[in-house]
Structure 1
Amino acid sequence: MPDRQRADARRNYARILAVAEEEVAAHGAAASLEQIARTAGVGSATVRRHFPTRRALLEAVSHQRIEALCVRAQELTGEGDSRNALLEWLTDVVAYCVDARGLAAALLYDEDPLRENSCATLIEEAGEPLLRRAVRDGAAAADVTVADLIALIVGIVLATEHHPDPAAAADRLFRMAVAGLSPCGPTGDAVR
């Protein structure tokens, strides 16, 4: 019987996660846990057994996309201009946060040492080589951290989530933040 229970638990986990991905895509981070349980055909206690907190569920929903961003960071590490590589990856992070409808905050590092945030850890570790290279090349300030950049992105995404075109608004604000307020960016090009 224990093997059957493990198989049932694995099936429940997969079903809950699949339903949660759909619900979060439709309703954002505020998706109803009770609705997820009903749609998955399990009790709310089963959902809570697999995902003890809403944050744990949101992190699980985010995990696959986060892994894709990590792979993308690896692909860009060592590629071409270090500033452009870092900005290309950060632009992908902005796009993910906009698409993730309310999951952007899952990328923020949690100051509580008792609570691990695997999404934040994965993103920070993935972006670190890109940032280090940009710092080494003088394309980023030495005191900037990946956590700083993610906090900036999350702030932009949260500020634009109710905009009629959140992707365009977030992209515009991110590019403005990168370029600064002057009419010309660091390369002398006009800010767009």
Structure 2
Amino acid sequence: MRADAKKNYEHVLNVARAVITEQGADASLRDISRKAEVGLGTVYRHFPTREALLDALLRESFDELTARAAKLETADSSAAALQSWLRETVAVARNLRGVTASMMAAIEEPDSALHASCVTMRAAGTRLLVRAQADGMARTDIDGADLFALVGALAWLGDQPSLAQRSDHLFGVIADAILSSPGMQR
């Protein structure tokens, strides 16, 4: 990619992140192009579909979450590692308002531009969950798909104006339901 095209790409992506954070995943691509001060054709040249734009926004975050999970895999406390990663993952999904439905749909649709990013992120969380389960620190009747669904549910709560103020409390309730005290049977 030429230097000017790369600069345009990054600029549009940064503006899109701000617009989607403010307006949600259904934000108009026309609004994004106006705020980025580029033509709509420029936006479509870089991101031919809304899903391609969401994929670009999420891919970087999911790559960071995957790298973060790899670091957390060696943490002393598998329970604290899982809880930390879960909190960070929910925050990413919450920050880009309205992407939860796209994430949940993409995990089941191999042809989706978001599929690979979602699968990679779910696998990272699954590894942390399995480690916590092996240490007796997490309930054993859930798997990575359940964990991904809980991330989606917790992110959705943050998107609901009437529930947003309770989302941290509800995160704690869910985290406590996933994690167990040593020796606790679930």
Alignment TM-score, normalising by the size of structure 1: 0.77
- Over 3 Å counting, the alpha-carbon distance change for 1:120 and 1:156 in structure 2 is same
Residues 110-148 of structure 1, C-alpha deviations (whole Å, 9 max, x = no match): 322222423312312322321221122233344533232
1:173 maps to: 170
Figure out how many residues of one structure are paired with residues of the other and give that number.
Answer: 179
SS of residue paired to 1:30? coil
Determine the C-alpha separation between the residues in 2 that align with 1:126 and 1:186. 20
Counterpart among 66, 71, 74 of residue 70 in structure 1: 66
Give the drift of 1:44.
2.3
Determine the C-alpha separation between the residues in 2 that align with 1:153 and 1:29. 17
Which deviates more, 37-46 or 123-132? 37-46
1:157 maps to: 155
Determine the C-alpha separation between the residues in 1 that align with 2:8 and 2:133. 46
SS of residue paired to 2:25? helix
SS of residue paired to 1:127? helix
1:124 maps to: 122
Counterpart among 45, 53, 59 of residue 55 in structure 2: 59
Whether 1:41 aligns to 2:42 is no
Give the aligned CA root-mean-square deviation in angstroms. Answer: 2.7
Alignment TM-score, normalising by the size of structure 2: 0.79
Determine the C-alpha separation between the residues in 2 that align with 1:141 and 1:20. 39
Map 1:74-89 → 2, pairs under 5 A? 74-89=70-85
SS of residue paired to 1:29? coil
| 1:91–1:171 contact (8 Å) kept in structure 2 | no
Which deviates more, 7-16 or 55-64? 7-16
- Over 3 Å counting, the alpha-carbon distance change for 1:78 and 1:8 in structure 2 is closer
Determine the C-alpha separation between the residues in 2 that align with 1:14 and 1:7. 11
Considering only CA atoms, is the larger Rg found in Structure 1 or Structure 2? 1
Moved over 4 A (4+): none
Give the partner amino acid of 2:37. G
Structure 2 runs not aligned, ≥5 long: none
Whether 1:112 aligns to 2:109 is yes
| 1:153–1:174 contact (8 Å) kept in structure 2 | no
1:18 maps to: 14
Determine the C-alpha separation between the residues in 2 that align with 1:114 and 1:65. 20
| 2:55–2:117 contact (8 Å) kept in structure 1 | yes
Give the drift of 1:170.
2.0
Q: What percentage of residue pairs aligned between the two structures are identical?
A: 36
- Over 3 Å counting, the alpha-carbon distance change for 1:70 and 1:113 in structure 2 is closer
